[in-house]
Amino acid sequence: MGILALQGDFEAHAKLVGRLGALAREVRSPPQLDGLDALVIPGGESTVMTLGIEREGLAEPVRALAASGVPVLGTCAGMIMLDNDHLGILDIRTSRNAFGRQVRSFEAEVELAGVAGGPIRAIFIRAPWVQEHGEGVEVLARLDGHPVAVRAGNVIAVSFHPELSGEARVHELLLAAVPSGSRSA
Ligand code: GLN
């Protein structure tokens, strides 16, 4: 599984993926996407991440990877990167820092559709929510009425940071989307 490692909290994702028994490969340039069975775009700062993606020429290869059916997970700023105003991989429009400036960071219990074992402990840090989405996008969870977890086929996005609460079930959802037999780094 690849973790986009230009900026943000990629190390926490790599640790969690390791705990799940998958190999994590840090991705900083297009050749490092080759042969990946899944990709995580972590949280961080979406403006800085956008510049890094442009600088490294990663936009097209990441779009091609997602279009080929490889599962992709975006968390927080990673959700923003997937939307129609950025990489255009997921038919959503996000609102940045949507929960307001005063409430920069908080934790909540979030019920995630299709995930057993009770609500997820979710950490929100200057988090976005989904402002609009196309018909093909399934809302997996809402908070205060706003979508905070969505999915369209092999692409999943969450507003929060599962990797920071040690919550493995979102990454398990990603791994479950990998066709068996094609698991690699
Ligand atoms: N607010 C950040 C942004 O807009 C995202 C925050 C995060 O990833 N924790 O880029």
At residue 179, the pLDDT reads 79
In testing the pocket of ligand 1, which one of 95, 125, 159, 160 has its CB within 8 Å of the most ligand atoms?
125
Residue 145's contacts (CB-CB under 8 Å, 6 or more residues apart) are none
- Is residue 54 flagged as an active site residue? no
Phi/psi at 173 (5° precision) = -60, -40
**Nearest atom within ligand 1 for CA of residue 49:** 10
Angle at 77 between CA 115 and CA 102, to 5 degrees: 95
Ligand 1 within 6 A of CB of 138: no
Task: Give the span between the Cα atoms of 179 and 154, in whole angstroms.
Answer: 10
Kindly name the residue from 86, 161, 167, 171 that is annotated as catalytic: 161
d(CA 81, ligand 1 centre) in Å: 10
d(CA 47, ligand 1 centre) in Å: 9
Kindly name the residue from 76, 86, 133, 171 that is annotated as catalytic: 76
Task: Give the span between the Cα atoms of 31 and 48, in whole angstroms.
Answer: 21
d(CA 76, ligand 1 centre) in Å: 6
Q: pLDDT (tens digit, 9 = 90+) per residue, 9-21? A: 999 999 999 999 9
d(CA 35, ligand 1 centre) in Å: 28
At residue 148, the pLDDT reads 98
> Percent of the chain scored above 70 by pLDDT?
95
Task: Show me where the domains of the chain are located.
Answer: 2-176
Architecture of domain 2-176: 3-Layer(aba) Sandwich (3.40)
Residue 174 clears pLDDT 80, i.e. is over it? yes
Per the structure block, which two tokens stand in for 130? Answer: 């989904």
Task: Give the span between the Cα atoms of 136 and 48, in whole angstroms.
Answer: 29
Provide, for the chain, the percentages of residues in helix, strand and coil under a 3-state DSSP scheme, each rounded to the nearest 5: 30, 30, 45
Per the structure block, which two tokens stand in for 46? Answer: 């979406």
Q: Which helix (H) or strand (E) holds 53?
A: helix 46-56
Q: By mean pLDDT, which of 18-22, 87-91, 152-156, 181-185 is the weakest?
A: 181-185
Q: Whole-number mean pLDDT of the chain? A: 94
